[in-house]
Amino acid sequence: MKISESKNKYLQDQLGSADISFNEPVVAGDLIHFTITYTAGFFGIDDTGSIKICTRFATDMAKPQFTEPDQPNYVSIQASNGATLEYRFDPKNNVRPWDKTLYIKVVKGFFREGDQLIVNYGDPQQGCPGIRMQTFCEDSFEFKVLVDAFATYDYVELPKSPELRIVPGFVTNWKAQIPTLRRTDETFGLQIKAEDRWGNPTDPENAPLKLSSNKPINGLDREICFETQKNGVMFIEGLSVTEPGDLVIEIQDATDIILARSNPLRILEVSNLVHYWGELHGQSEETIGTNSILDYFTFARDQAGVDVIVHQGNDFQITSDFWEEIQVMTRKFLVEDKLVTFPGYEWSGNTGLGGDRNVLFLHEGETIRRSSHALVEDLTDLENDCNHSDDLFRSLQGTKSIVFSHVGGRYADIQSHEGNLERSIEIHSAWGTFEWLLQDALRNGYRVGIVSNSDGHKGRPGASYPGASMFGAYGGLTCMLAQDLSREMIWDSLLKRHHYGTTGNRMYLDVTVGLNSPGKCFIDDPQLGHSNSKMSEKVMMGDIVLTLDKEVRLNVEVMGSAPIEKIEIRNGLKVLETVRPFNPNELGHRIRLIWAGAEYRGRGRETIWDGCASLSGNVIESIHPINLYNLEKTVRQLDSTHLEWNAVTTGGFGGFDMMLKDQQTGTLNIETKHVQCSMTIEEIGFHEIRIDAGGLDRHIRLSRLPNNNRHYQMSLERSILLNPNIDNPVYVCVTQEDGHQAWSSPIYLFR
C-alpha cells in the first residue's frame, strides 16, 4: 500500500516512461553505476518544464554530486536533443515520503515525443567508482519520476517507477540472543543471527558452529550447522536450565574463534516478574518507513526476536483503510506467550501544538485521533482530529490507552501533559539520546517512566541500525517486567512504569528500594486524583511511594551484555554518585575519548565532530571505535602519533579508545570545530575530564580504563537521604564500555 505523492493524474499514459539499466539485485551499501532514461511522451516537455526523480525520506543512498567526476556519487545528466539543463539535489523538495529529489529543469530548448533525458548515477567515464546505494534491504527500491510537461510546476507521476532490489551482503558479524530472565526448567530459545556490515540479516554459506555455555543447558547441541535459506536467523528452541544461576552462551567457528557472546540470562527458582523486550515505536512504507507493514511485524518476530511489537505511523499519513490494516496486523500477529502486539499510531502534531506523542491501545477498535489530515485526502472523519495535544488527551479519557512523548524529527513539548495517560518518556531512539526530555519532565514534577525504542524507518524494528543517514544511533529497546507475556500483563507493566530503556542492548537490570517501615505504593499518580495503593517495604522501578523514612536503601544489580564502565545513581536532576566496577589501581594504557551532545532540540540537532588528534612523547599502538555505526564516519590511525575522524552526534555519544605504549608519558592535542585542547597523558585518570562546548549538552570527555575490563556484573547497595517536601525520583543510568546504555524508570519517593 505505497502512498503516491502526486494527486494530479492528468493523461499519465501520455507523459512518457522511465527505464533503469540495472536489473540485478544490488548489495546494500555497494558502489554501483546505473542509468535512468526518461523518454518523453506525446506532450514532450515545454521550455522551463522539469522532471523530479524522487526517493524516500528513509533512504540513505548517497547524496548525488555533480562537480567531481572522479569521486564517488558523481551523477551526469544529458538531454539527447542537446537542450540545456539545470539541475540540483534537494533532500526535501517533494511531498513526503518521497522527499529526496533530483530536480532537472529544461532551461533552453524543449523536448518532443521520443526525446530522452539520460541520468547516469555513478558515471564511470572519468573515474567515478559508483554511487553508494542504500545500506538496508528493500525488495522494491523505487525512483518516483514526476513530469511537469506544461511548465506549470504541477507534476504528474509516471505510472511505472524504475526499481532496484536491495539485498544483504556477506556475513561480517554474528549475534547470539537469549532471554533475560527465566525460571528453572522453564524452556527458552537461542537466536543466532548472521549480519552483513550494515546490520542486515544475511544467509552465510553452510557454517559449522560450536556452542558453549558457562552452565549446563538441557537440549543444547555443542555443534550445529547454520544452513542457508534461514533469512540470516536460526532459532534453537526447547532449551532449559535446572539449577539457578547466570547463563551466557558463546558461539565459535570451526577453528574455535569466538564469533559472538550472548546477552546474560538469569535463572531463578521463583520469580513473580519476568523481563520481556519490546520495540514500541517504528514505521513502515505505508507512512515514511521501508517495506510493508507485514514485513515490519514479520521482521520483529522472526529476525529481531522481540517479545512485544507496536507499529507507530505518522497519523497524518494514516488513511482510514490503513488504520484498519494496522489493526488487522496486530490481531494476526498476537500470540499470547509468544508475541504481544498493541494497535497504535504516532500523533504527529507540530511542536507548537504539543509535538510528537505515541498512542497505544490495549485493544483494537478504537478511533484514530489525528493531529491533522495533512496527507490524508479523505476528509469524512475530519471531526475526529485533535490538532493540539491537550485535545488528544481529552479525547483519550475513558479509553484504555497509554501515551508516551518522544523526540523524532519534531520533539514533544511536554508543557502539555496528562499524567494518567502520558505514562512514560522516550529518551532514546535511532534519532539519538534525549535525556533532556526526562529532565524537563522532572523539573515539571511529572512522574513518568522511561522507554527506549527505535522510531525506525529502515524496515528493521527491534534491530535498528542507523545506516549512513542522519540517524545518529542504534535503535533502543524497552524491557518490561511482567508476570507473563500477555497483553494484559504487558499493559499492566506499562501502566505501572515497571520497565527500563536501553540503547538496543539486552542487559539485565534490577533496581529496588528497601524501606525501613512500610510505605504506601501507588499505581497512578496521587497528585492527579484518586489512586489505588498498597503497603510495601520493597518497591521497584516505576513505583510512586509515600514514605515516612528519611533515608532508604537503594539496591542495584546489573549484568551487562558487555563489560560495565560505570553506573550513575541519580536523584532527579542530580547525580548522587558515579560507581565504577574497577578501582584506580586497575587503570592501564587505555585512554577513552568521547564526543557527545547536540546542536539544539529540533531537526537540525546534528553536531559534526570531524577532527584530529596528535600525540607527542608517546605512541598509539591501536584504536577501537565506540558507537560509530555509520561506516562512512570512521576513526583512522594515520601513523603512530596521529589520528583523524569523521563523526556526528544527535544527542548521544561516540568516540574511541586508544591503547598507548607508555601509561603516563606524552601530551595529547585534540582539534575539532567545537573543542580544541591539549593535556598531558598523566592528567587523564580515573575521573573524567570534561570540556563543555555549548549547544545542547555538547562536550568532549576523556578518561582512563583498565587494559582489560572483565567486569560484566555489578551489585551495589546505597543509603539515599531523601529530600523533604519534594519528589525524590531515584534511578540509575548504566553505561557499558561498548557504548550501550540503560536507564531504569525512576522510583518516585516522597515524604
Per-residue pLDDT for 469 more than 90?
no
Please say whether the beta carbons of 747 and 541 come within 8 A.
yes
What pLDDT score does 409 carry?
83
Please say whether the beta carbons of 81 and 24 come within 8 A.
no
Run of H or E including 295: helix 293-299
Residue 322: which of 278, 362, 381, 394 has the closest Cα? 381
What does the mean pLDDT of the chain come to? Answer: 95
- ∠ at Cα 284 (282, 288), nearest 5°? 90
Query: C-alpha cell of 692?
Result: 563543555
Q: What is the reported pTM? A: 0.95
Q: How far is CA 380 from CA 68, 319, 376, in A?
A: 51, 11, 10
CA pair distance 536, 521, nearest whole angstrom:
7
Instruction: Count CA within 13 A, CB hemisphere, residue 35.
Output: 14
Please say whether the beta carbons of 146 and 6 come within 8 A.
yes
* Tens digit of each residue's pLDDT (9 = 90 or more) over 367-401: 999 999 999 999 999 999 999 999 999 999 999 99
Task: Output 326-332 pairs: Cβ under 8 A, ≥24 positions apart.
Answer: 326/293, 327/364, 327/365, 329/293, 329/294, 329/297, 330/364, 331/364, 332/297
Residues of the chain within CATH 3.20.20.140 domain(s) are 275-504
Give the 3-state secondary structure of residue 443.
helix
Residue 635: which of 610, 608, 617 has the closest Cα? 610
Describe the strand order of the beta sheet including 144-148 as a list of residue ranges: 84-90, 100-108, 50-55, 144-148, 156-157
- What are phi and psi for residue 708, nearest 5 degrees? -140, 100
- ∠ at Cα 303 (430, 324), nearest 5°? 75
Instruction: Count CA within 13 A, CB hemisphere, residue 319.
Output: 11
Pairing outcome for strands 648-649 and 689-692: unpaired
Per-residue pLDDT for 433 more than 70?
yes
Mean pLDDT along residues 535-559: 97
Q: Which residue has the cell 495517560?
A: 421
Looking at 589-731, list the stretches that DSSP marks H as alpha helix, in order from N- to C-terminal side: none
Query: 228-237, 295-304, 398-407: which has the minimum mean pLDDT?
Result: 228-237
Chain-centroid distance, C-alpha 102: 28
Mean pLDDT along residues 65-74: 98
What pLDDT score does 3 carry?
42
CA pair distance 199, 458, nearest whole angstrom:
11
Query: C-alpha cell of 518?
Result: 512500610
What's the pLDDT band for 444 if we cut at 50, 70, 90? Answer: very high
* Tens digit of each residue's pLDDT (9 = 90 or more) over 694-715: 999 999 999 999 999 999 999 9
Those residues with Cβ within 8 angstroms of residue 345's Cβ, 6 or more apart along the chain or in another chain:
312, 313, 314, 315, 318, 323, 326, 358, 359, 368
Per-residue pLDDT for 9 more than 90?
no
Those residues with Cβ within 8 angstroms of residue 568's Cβ, 6 or more apart along the chain or in another chain:
575, 577, 578, 579, 732, 733, 734, 735
**Domain 12-167: which CATH class?**
mainly beta
Query: C-alpha cell of 747?
Result: 522510583
The domain 173-270 is placed in CATH, from the list 2.30.30.90, 2.30.110.10, 2.60.40.10, 2.40.128.110, at 2.60.40.10
* Tens digit of each residue's pLDDT (9 = 90 or more) over 206-231: 889 999 999 999 999 999 998 766 78
* Tens digit of each residue's pLDDT (9 = 90 or more) over 161-171: 999 999 999 99
**DSSP 8-class letter at 283:** -
Please say whether the beta carbons of 243 and 267 come within 8 A.
yes
Q: How far is CA 117 from CA 36, 77, 142, 372, in A?
A: 8, 7, 18, 38
Per-residue pLDDT for 618 more than 50?
yes
Per-residue pLDDT for 5 more than 70?
no
Amino acid at 681: I
Pairing outcome for strands 642-645 and 574-579: unpaired
What's the pLDDT band for 129 if we cut at 50, 70, 90? Answer: very high
Those residues with Cβ within 8 angstroms of residue 481's Cβ, 6 or more apart along the chain or in another chain:
273, 274, 275, 276, 493, 498, 499, 540, 541
Per-residue pLDDT for 1 more than 50?
no
CA pair distance 709, 308, nearest whole angstrom:
33
* CATH number of the structural domain 509-581+715-751: 2.60.40.10
Per-residue pLDDT for 668 more than 50?
yes
Looking at 412-519, list the stretches that DSSP marks H as alpha helix, in order from N- to C-terminal side: 435-443, 487-496
Please say whether the beta carbons of 720 and 576 come within 8 A.
yes
Per-residue pLDDT for 240 more than 70?
yes
The region, left, alpha or beta by phi > 0 then psi within -120 to 50, assigned to residue 595 is beta
Residues of the chain within CATH 2.60.40.10 domain(s) are 173-270, 509-581+715-751
Q: Is the peptide bond before 466 cis (omega within 30 degrees of 0)?
A: no
What pLDDT score does 2 carry?
42
Please say whether the beta carbons of 504 and 476 come within 8 A.
yes
Pairing outcome for strands 574-579 and 564-571: antiparallel
What pLDDT score does 472 carry?
76
What pLDDT score does 7 carry?
64
Amino acid at 171: V
Please say whether the beta carbons of 209 and 253 come within 8 A.
yes
Amino acid at 378: D
Mean pLDDT along residues 137-145: 97
Q: How far is CA 299 from CA 110, 302, 322, 461, 484, in A?
A: 47, 5, 19, 7, 23
Those residues with Cβ within 8 angstroms of residue 557's Cβ, 6 or more apart along the chain or in another chain:
508, 509, 510, 713, 714, 715
Architecture of domain 275-504: Alpha-Beta Barrel (3.20)
Per-residue pLDDT for 324 more than 60?
yes
Amino acid at 369: R
Those residues with Cβ within 8 angstroms of residue 236's Cβ, 6 or more apart along the chain or in another chain:
189, 190, 191, 192, 219, 220, 221, 224
